[in-house]
Structures are given as structure tokens and as C-alpha cells.
Amino acid sequence: MSDGIGRILLAEDNLNDVELTREALAGSNLANEMDVARDGQEALDYLYKAGAYSGRKSADPIVILLDLKMPLVDGLEVLRRVKGDPALSHIPVVMLTSSSEERDLVESYRLGVNAYVVKPVDFKQFVEAVRKTGIFWAVLNNVPRGVPPPGA
Amino acid sequence: MSRLGKAGLTIPQRLLLVTTLSSSSALLIAGITLAVLDERQARADLLRRRTTDAEMIGLHSASALTFDDRSAAESTLAALRVKKDVEHACIYTTAGRLFAAYRSRGGGCPATAGPAQASHRLEADRLVVSYPVVHDGEALGTIVIQSNLEELAAHSRRIVWLGLQVSLVAFAVGLLIAWRYQRALSDPLLALARTAQEVTDRKDYSVRLHAKAPAEIGVLIEKFNWMLAQIQQHDQELRSVQAQLEQRVVERTRELQQELLVRREAEAEVRRLNDALSQRLEEVTALNQEIESFSYSVSHDLRAPLRHVNGFVDLLRERAAGLLDETCQRYLGVIASGAKQMGCLIDDLLGFSRMGRSELSRRDVALEGLLNEVTQDAQRETLGRDIEWVLHPLPTVRGDSSMLRIVFVNLLSNAVKYSNRVAKARIEVGWQSGENGLVTVFVRDNGVGFDMRYADKLFGVFQRLHRAEDFEGTGIGLATVRRIANRHGGNAWAESEVGRGATFYVSFAKAEGA
């Protein structure tokens, strides 16, 4: 199934959140297909196969889960770059954030985010949110097959 | 006086001239008339005397003629010596022959004018008188006497000389009288002219002419003074009005300057206040931005650890369910609910903070509709409880509808919460008019109530009058209510008695025109 679906890219600086997200996705067979970038710059390197990821062979992720607040380059900036690049803009992006600040929500949608999830304090709700989002975008998103992966 | 003289002679001069000319003319005419009459009289006298002389000589020489006694005739003629003006006297016979002659100077005898005829001939410088010598009716001859007119001329000269002297004296006397009399007329006129000039030159209308003058001049002076008095009065009135006007102008100018000064000070004060206000505004704006970024960090960073606590407690419960005893399980429960409670506190606190900063979108809000919606939600959540809702009609107010909704949500959820131990709860909502056009809405319940000593604490952030295990809550609801009321120009307060329910009041500005 993993071959058929493809990988998920999670950009998240907090290891606890990485682990919780992984746990939340564990029941959906998606966890093993998840790559983690620890900040916005690493996520961009991953996407552009630059820096530490210059030799990345894997296909582009089928969905990007972006934490809003990250060191170096924040989630909004990554979102802006992805959606501003015709080679990447087809990849669905989901914002995962602790904050329910309206201005972040508005800015994210202005930049073309596909979904916006406020991480609840309650873990069960968090699991539900992440699981639904991941599965929704991993399974139901209709990735255009005619688009070749960049650099291929 | 030179200006007055421009017209020619002065009044006194004219008066003198007229008087002098008229009196001189009269004197001259009279003098000439008298002289002419006197001349005539003198000539007539001379003629009469010579005629008498000739008659007398004729009487005395008649016998001499008769007897041809020439010497007798000549001695008779010689009697004429005493008459200085007689130049010649001759006696002619009827035949025209010279009979006798008398000569005081050389020259021939004058010819006879005619025989036996009394006649005379007046020439430029002589008078020739002829008279017949008659005796007993018989003409014997003619006597001719020639006189010069020197005596007559001397008389005429004397008369003219006398006339001149008399005229001179009369002229002098007349002049004196005229001069004296003209002063009585011209002095007041001159005084009038001087006064008029003085008034003109000095513009001094207080001058009066105190002069006595006869007849119309007196009237003229009187009227002149009257006119001056009128002018003076008008002038004084004019000056008084002018002075009042000037005084008004001065006062008004001073007032205006004062006002201007006050206004400038006020403007300077306004500017100063404005500057201070702008500075305060900048400070507040900066502060707000600081609070904003602070609360943003809080909302983002403070929730993450709580989520981790909660998440890993849940994971722990799943993985180690069989390994933990009941106490350990309870500990995990306490940890999880603590984290959850703290998440709620953070959310409420951020909401409260946002409430104070976010902008109000004011419009007319019908409180009744709002109350009905909130009440319906509350009724759904309290299904199964016996609550009597008493809802009075509510007015329309001016405000932010979403904030006003929060007010009702808080007040009604409090009323529901604190009346849950009463068998039959009763919640009443109504309103009354307050001061300054405020609308005061009240929410009354018959719940547990509270001690009025702590009434003010009720509206503080995180201030609670009940234990958490009795009534759950974060203690931020009423603080939010009061803040919203304050931002709508009103306030929030409460009345209660322990065990006898509570009434919460909240006031707002009324809608315009409502």
C-alpha cells in the first residue's frame, strides 16, 4: 500500500510533537512512510533536494504537514515557497499549529493552504485531527499522475 | 483781516466814503448855487448904483448943459472920483458931441448907447451905463459911465474863498460825525467777522460774540450766537458719540485681544494635550503590539507542553494499563485533567485579553433576539432540568453584537450553573432605564447566591467565590462581562444574598433614536 500512496513530509521542530504525530498516524499505516524535517529550511532542502537531501531518490511527498512555528524558516514561509513554485504547488499542504490565532489562519488560506488544523490539548482529539487529515490527503487526494517528480 | 479786505474797501471805509461823498456833493451844490446867486446880486447892485450915479449927475449937470458951462459939468463929473471902479464918465449933447468928460485912467470916452434912452451894456470886464439928461421934459444930452468889474471880481473871490473855508470845516465836522456813527455800525460787523474767522480757524464753537449793536445787526449777532450754540451742541453730541464709539472700539479691541489670548492659550493647551495624547497613543500602540506578540507566543508555546503532557499520559495509559494500580491510574487522571484545565485557563485568558484589545464594530443590536438565541442554546444544554425562564422584552442598544452575545452567554450560563441545586430554578431577564441614557439589563436567578462582602471580587480575573469542586469554571466569565460593559460605556455589578439567589446587572449605551 505504501508504494501506491507515497510518502508524507512532516515539518516539525518539537520531537514530542513528532512522536505524538507518529503515534496518531500509527493506526493508519502512514507512519512508516513519514519523513521528518526539523525546521523550515530542512523542509525546503528536502523538497528541492538540496543540502543534506541533495541525493534524495524518493518521489515528492503526497502531502506536507507543516508546523506553523519553526526555527530558521517558519511554516508560513515554507507554504509560500511551495505554493509559489509551479513544480511543487500541486502538493497538498496541511497546517498543524498550536495557535488558534485568526491572522495565521487567514494568512495560510491566502497563501493557498489545503487544510488548517489547530492541535487540541486533548490527545484523543489531536489523534483524530491528524489521522483524518493525513488519511484524507493521503488517500483521497487526487495527485495528478502526469506530473513527473522534479529532478527525475 | 486781509481776507476780508480782498473784496476791496472795508465796511468802515465804504461807510466813510459814502457819507463823505454825499455830504461833499451837497456842500458843493449849495456853495455853487449861493456863489452864482451872490454874483448876480452883486452885478444888479453895481448896475443900480451906476444908474443912480448917472441920474444924480444928470440932475446936477442939466443947468451946465443949458448954459454950456463945461467946467461946471466937469466938476460934477469929478465927484465920481470916490467911486474907484469908475473909469470914464462922459456927457454927450443930444447932437452927440462930447460936452464934458472924466477919466480916471487913459483912453477914450465910451460911445453913447443911444440918445435919451436909459440903457446899459455889460461886457467881459466893464459895465457901461447910459442915462439921458432931462430938464423940464426936454432931453439935453446923454451921460455915459463906464465902470470896470474889478471890485465885483474881488467880491466873487472872497465869496469863493469863504465858501471853501466853510466847506472844509463842514466837511471835517461831517467826517467826524460819520466816523463816529459808522463805528456804531461797523464795529459789531467787524467783531462778527473776526469771531466768524476765529471759529473757522480754531474750530472752536464755544466762542460767543458779546457786542451791542443796533437794529438788524443786533439780530444778526444774536442769531449768529444762536447758530454757534446749535453747532456747539451738535458738535458736542457728535464728539460724545464719537468718544463713546472710540471707547467701544477700544473696549472691544481689548476684549478681542483677550479672547484671542485665551483662544491661543487654549489652542496651545489643545496642541500640548494632543501631542501628549499622540505620544500616549504611540506608547499604547507599542504596548498593544507587545501584548499581541506576547499573547501569540503564549497561545502557541504554552499550549504545546500541555498537549505533550496530555498526549503522553494517554499513551502511557494505553501501553501500561495492566502495569499500573488504581492509585497510579488516578495520578495519571489528575495529571491529564490538570493539563486540560490549564489549557482552558490559557484559552480563556487569551480570549479575555483579546476582548480588551480587539476593535468594536458598533451597530444597533436588538438584545431581545440575541437573548432568545442564547436562551435556546442554554435550554438545549439543560434538558432534564426544571427551569422556569421569565424573559421580558428587551430594547435595542448600540454595540458589538458578538461581544454582547458573550455577555448573555456568560450571565445565563452562570445563572444556570449556580441554580442547579434548586429543585425549581427560576431565571428572569429584563431591563430598566438607567442614568445618562444607559440601558441596564438584569439577569436574576434563585440559586446559591453569594456574600455581598465579596461582590467586587466577583468581577476580577480568576476570582471565584465558590470551590472548583462545587461549581466548575475558570473565574474569567464575569471579568469578561464587566470589560465588555466598560467598552460599551457601561458597567457590570451584582446583588445577592447567600442562599437567596443573585441578580447581575449590566449597562450599555442605548441605541441612537431608540
Mean per-residue pLDDT for A101-126? 83
Element (H, E) at B33: helix B11-66
Do the chains contact at A97 and B307, CB–CB below 8 Å? no
Q: What b/e sequence results for B46-83 when a residue is b if at least 16 CB atoms lie within 10 Å of its CB, and e otherwise?
A: beeebbebbbebbebbbebbeeebeebbbebbeebeeb
Q: What is the pTM of this model?
A: 0.47
**Which residue, among A115, A131, A132, has the nearest Cα to A68 in the 3D structure?**
A115
Residue B2 C-alpha cell reads as 486781509
**Structurally, what CATH architecture does the domain formed by B360-509 represent?**
2-Layer Sandwich (3.30)
| Sign of the dihedral through C-alpha A86, A88, A89, A95 | negative
Do the chains contact at B307 and A119, CB–CB below 8 Å? yes
Reported residue count of chain A is 152
CA distance B70 to B67: 9
**DSSP letter (8 states) at residue B500:** S
For residue A23, the distance in angstroms to the closest alpha carbon of chain B comes to 9
CA distance B308 to B312: 6
Q: Kindly state whether A124 is in contact with chain B, defined as any CB-CB distance less than 8 angstroms.
A: yes
Residue to substitute from B297, B310, B348, interface A, most A β-carbons within 10 A: B310
Could you tell me if A32 and A108 are in contact, meaning their C-beta atoms sit under 8 angstroms apart?
Answer: no
CA distance B55 to B42: 20
Residue to substitute from A123, A124, A130, A131, interface B, most B β-carbons within 10 A: A123
Do the chains contact at B304 and A97, CB–CB below 8 Å? no
Question: Which of B296, B301, B343 lies nearest to residue A121, judging by beta carbons?
Answer: B343
* DSSP-based three-state secondary structure for B81: helix
Could you tell me if B330 and A43 are in contact, meaning their C-beta atoms sit under 8 angstroms apart?
Answer: no
What are the strands of the beta sheet with B387-391, ordered from one edge?
Answer: B387-391, B425-433, B438-445, B502-509, B492-496
Q: Kindly state whether A38 is in contact with chain B, defined as any CB-CB distance less than 8 angstroms.
A: no
CA distance B311 to B501: 41
Q: Kindly state whether A98 is in contact with chain B, defined as any CB-CB distance less than 8 angstroms.
A: yes
Residues of B in contact with A70 (CB under 8 A): none
Write the DSSP assignment of B363-395 as a string of letters: EEEEHHHHHHHHHHHHHHHTTTS-EEEEE----
Phi and psi of B116, rounded to 5°?
50, 30
Residue A119 C-alpha cell reads as 492541535
Burial class (CB in 10 A: 0-12, 13-18, 19+), A10: buried
For residue B415, the distance in angstroms to the closest alpha carbon of chain A comes to 28
Mean per-residue pLDDT for A38-59? 88
Phi and psi of B307, rounded to 5°?
-65, -40
Interface of A with B in 75-94 (CB under 8 A): none
Q: Kindly state whether A101 is in contact with chain B, defined as any CB-CB distance less than 8 angstroms.
A: yes
Do the chains contact at B310 and A121, CB–CB below 8 Å? yes
Residues of A in contact with B315 (CB under 8 A): 20, 23, 123
pLDDT of residue B231: 87
CA distance B265 to B260: 8
CA distance B339 to B308: 9
| Sign of the dihedral through C-alpha B263, B265, B267, B273 | negative
pLDDT at A142 over 60: no
Q: Kindly state whether A119 is in contact with chain B, defined as any CB-CB distance less than 8 angstroms.
A: yes
Q: A1-10, A122-131, B329-338: lowest mean pLDDT where?
A: A1-10
Burial class (CB in 10 A: 0-12, 13-18, 19+), B321: exposed
Q: Which CATH class is domain B2-176?
A: alpha beta
**Which residue, among A114, A122, A55, has the nearest Cα to A88 in the 3D structure?**
A114
Confidence band for A105, pLDDT divided at 50, 70 and 90: confident
Phi and psi of B282, rounded to 5°?
-60, -45
Interface of B with A (CB under 8 A): 296, 299-301, 303-304, 306-308, 310-315, 339-340, 343, 347
Domain boundary assignment for chain B: 2-176, 360-509
CA distances from B500 to B24, B413, B419, B449, B497 (A): 142, 18, 10, 6, 5
CA distance B365 to B511: 8
Which residues neighbour A117 within 8 Å (Cβ) at sequence distance 6 or greater? A94, A95, A96, A97, A129, A130, A133
What ipTM was reported for this prediction?
0.76
Could you tell me if B416 and B384 are in contact, meaning their C-beta atoms sit under 8 angstroms apart?
Answer: no
Q: Kindly state whether A99 is in contact with chain B, defined as any CB-CB distance less than 8 angstroms.
A: yes
Residue B320 C-alpha cell reads as 501500561
Do the chains contact at A124 and B314, CB–CB below 8 Å? yes
Q: Kindly state whether A14 is in contact with chain B, defined as any CB-CB distance less than 8 angstroms.
A: yes
A vs B, Cβ pairs < 8 A, gives 57
**DSSP letter (8 states) at residue B213:** -
Phi and psi of A57, rounded to 5°?
-100, -25
Tens of pLDDT along chain B (514 residues)?
444 444 578 777 888 888 888 888 888 888 889 888 988 888 888 889 888 888 888 888 888 888 888 888 888 888 888 888 888 888 888 877 888 888 877 666 766 655 557 788 888 788 888 888 888 888 888 888 888 888 888 888 888 898 888 888 888 888 888 888 878 778 888 888 888 888 888 888 888 878 777 778 888 888 888 988 898 899 889 989 999 999 999 999 999 999 999 999 999 999 999 999 999 999 988 888 888 778 777 777 788 888 889 889 988 888 888 888 889 889 988 898 888 888 888 888 887 877 777 778 888 889 899 999 999 988 888 888 888 999 999 998 888 888 899 999 999 998 998 888 888 899 999 998 877 778 899 999 998 888 888 888 888 877 777 776 677 777 788 888 998 998 888 889 999 888 888 999 999 887 765 4
| Sign of the dihedral through C-alpha B81, B83, B86, B92 | negative
Residues of A in contact with B300 (CB under 8 A): 68-69, 97-99, 101
Residue B70 C-alpha cell reads as 463945461
CA distance B494 to B454: 10
**Structurally, what CATH architecture does the domain formed by A2-140 represent?**
3-Layer(aba) Sandwich (3.40)
pLDDT of residue B2: 43
Residue B478 C-alpha cell reads as 464575569
Q: Using CA coordinates, name the residue in chain B closest to A101.
A: B296
Do the chains contact at A69 and B300, CB–CB below 8 Å? yes
Burial class (CB in 10 A: 0-12, 13-18, 19+), B257: exposed
Could you tell me if A116 and A109 are in contact, meaning their C-beta atoms sit under 8 angstroms apart?
Answer: yes
Phi and psi of B278, rounded to 5°?
-60, -40
**DSSP letter (8 states) at residue B489:** T
pLDDT of residue A148: 41
Do the chains contact at B308 and A97, CB–CB below 8 Å? no
Question: Which of B303, B310, B315 lies nearest to residue A98, judging by beta carbons?
Answer: B303
Burial class (CB in 10 A: 0-12, 13-18, 19+), B467: exposed
Q: How far apart are the first and last CA of chain A?
A: 22
